[in-house]
Amino acid sequence: MVGLGNPGPEFEGTRHNVGFEAVTLLAERHGGCLRAEKGLHARTCLVRINDQPVLLAMPTTYVNESGLAVTKLVRRAGLTAETFAHRLIVVHDELDLPPGRVKIKTGGGSAGHNGLKSIDSHLKTNGYLRVRIGIGKPPGRQPGADFVLKRPGATERELLEVAVVAAADAVETVLADGVEAAMNRVNTST
């Protein structure tokens, strides 16, 4: 399970880092400690969720280079193109969902998300599971890149904190009940 975000304290709490927040929460819930691992371009830990081993990861590359880390992580985990759909979960921010909304999606386009574009390019597929955390669209004509790299106001931050918990719950539901059941539960909730 890979959470997308940018490394460094200057990016903590930004909209783009909600994927990191979900991974951090899962590590805390399951007794893991994320540490840099040489050669992986990621901070990782191995935890057990629903009695299954799960490699949690946060790339140490910037979001637009996430594919570098994900490729190495996929190799380490022994995943193939045939097993991506059920074994690789990417948690990321989503401009096309309102702030705080969480949805699960299998495959599909990147919707302009540079982290997903990088992963798709490096893996040569988009056939993996995504947990999308809505951050909403930028107001007015503000560029998306500027919007995702800013910290939200207090009200929106509260929505995102609830969504991070829901995203972590969604990952646990996928592992406990399978993708289809998790999608039915998460995608239909308000």
Task: Point out the residues that are catalytic.
Answer: 16
The contacts of residue 134 (CB under 8 Å, 6+ apart) are: 94, 96, 97, 98, 99, 100, 101, 102, 103, 163
3-class DSSP assignment, residue 2: strand
C-alpha distances in angstroms, 32 versus 75, 78, 80?
Answer: 21, 21, 25
CA quadruple 177, 180, 182, 188: dihedral sign: negative
DSSP string for residues in 65-82: GHHHHHHHHHHHHT--TT
Between CA 33 and CA 15 the distance in angstroms is 23
Residue showing tokens 């893991």: 32
DSSP string for residues in 171-188: HHHHHHH-HHHHHHHHHH
What are the tokens at 54?
């799960």
What are the tokens at 166?
């829901």
